[in-house]
Amino acid sequence: MDSDLGLGWPRSCIRNWHQFGLITLKGQLVSNPGGHDALLRPEVYAGHRAASLYLAFLVSSLFSWTGSNALALRNHFCHHPWMGAPYMLLSSVLSLFILKYPVRISQETMHEPLTIRRGMQAAALGAVFCFSFVAVIFYREHGGPPALASNLNPC
């Protein structure tokens, strides 16, 4: 939820669903700015599945009584790696800190040995960190081919 500052077509789609109805717009990503001609000449965004915004629509519907508006983040699955990877880098580092310094301090956790489960968690986070780092370095062009692939291409 935001202060009516969501940008781009996801926000327009959700507002159109609220204004005209999800069923009326056939559940499609109708992105007409301001809702103009959304029924007569709907501009359907074809770059994503409409279902990717249903959860954001549901959340905004549930909390609409608060006066808040929907802030739809359309990078749910990190399909723009350069955009999502920095968040994964930060979150993985913070998660590693939690593993090393548990928030809930108890006798058990203080003296808990490095079990296989915790080791696997650390390994998974390390893998996330490495993947994110590689994504940021080599796959950082918005909407374009990976820089690594273009560098390797002799043409």
Q: Which long-range contacts (CB under 8 A, 24 or more apart) does 60-64 make?
A: 60/1, 60/14, 60/18, 61/18, 63/1, 64/18
In this structure, which amino acid lies at residue 82?
W
The minimum distance between CB 130 and other proteins, in angstroms, equals 18
User: Which positions from 34 to 73 touch other proteins by CB under 8 A, shown as an x/- string?
Assistant: xxxxxx----------------------------------
User: Which positions from 81 to 120 touch other proteins by CB under 8 A, shown as an x/- string?
Assistant: -xx-------------------------------------
User: With respect to other proteins, which residue has the nearer C-beta, 122 or 131?
Assistant: 131
User: With respect to other proteins, which residue has the nearer C-beta, 38 or 125?
Assistant: 38
Binding residues with other proteins: total (CB under 8 A):
27
Residue 145 in the binding site for other proteins (CB under 8 A): no
The minimum distance between CB 39 and other proteins, in angstroms, equals 7
Residue 138 in the binding site for other proteins (CB under 8 A): no
User: With respect to other proteins, which residue has the nearer C-beta, 4 or 112?
Assistant: 4
Q: What contacts 69, CB < 8 A, 6 or more positions away?
A: 1, 2, 3, 4, 6, 11, 15, 60
Site of interaction with other proteins (CB under 8 A): 4-5, 7-9, 11-12, 15, 19-20, 31, 33-39, 82-83, 136, 140-144, 147
